[in-house]
Copies of this chain bind each other. A is one copy, B any other.
Amino acid sequence: MKRAKVTSGDVARLADVSQSAVSRSFSEDASVSAVTRAKVLKAARKLGYRPNVIARAMISGRSRLIAVLVAYLDNQFYPIVIEQLSRALQERGFHVLLFITDTGNQDVVVQQMMGYQVEGIVMASASLSSTLARECAQTGIPVVLFNRYAPSSPASSVTSDNIEGGRLVARYLVDGGHKRIAYIAGSEDSSTNRDREAGFYRGLAESSQIVWARAVGNYSFEGAADATRQLCSSKIKPDAIFVANDHMAFSVMDVLRIEMKLHIPNDISIIGYDDVPEADWGGYKLTTVRQPSEAMIDATISILMEQIQQETVSRRAAILPAELIVRQSARLPKNKS
Contact = CB atoms under 8 A, between A and B. Distances in A.
A30 B4 CA distance: 28
A251 to B, nearest CB: 8
Interface stretch (A10-18, A79-87, A144-152): A79-87
A313 interface: yes
A63 interface: yes
B253 A283 contact: yes
A103 interface: no
Contact of A117 (B53, B254, B311): B53
Given A3-B140, A283-B281, A97 B100 contact: no
A83 B72 contact: yes
Contact of A58 (B51, B58, B111, B311): B58
A61 to B, nearest CB: 8
Interface in A184-233: none
A117 B82 contact: no
Nearest to A257: B282
A254 B282 contact: yes
Given A2-B311, A97-B97, A79 B86 contact: no
Nearest to A284: B283
A1 B133 CA distance: 13
A281 B1 CA distance: 47
Contacts of A283: 250, 253-254, 281-284
A250 B76 CA distance: 15
A115 interface: yes
Interface residues of A, number: 63
A312 interface: yes
A46 to B, nearest CB: 13
A129 interface: no
Contacts of A112: 53, 95
A114 interface: yes
Contact of A98 (B54, B98, B111, B116): B98
A108 B80 CA distance: 23
Interface in A107-135: 111-112, 114-117, 135
A100 B95 contact: no
Interface in A38-88: 48, 50-55, 57-58, 61, 63, 65, 68, 72-74, 76, 78-80, 82-83, 86-87
User: Top 5 nearest A-B pairs by Cβ distance?
Assistant: A283-B283, A254-B282, A3-B140, A79-B79, A73-B79
Given A52-B58, A95-B112, 6 more contacts: A1-B140, A3-B311, A54-B116, A76-B76, A96-B98, A283-B284
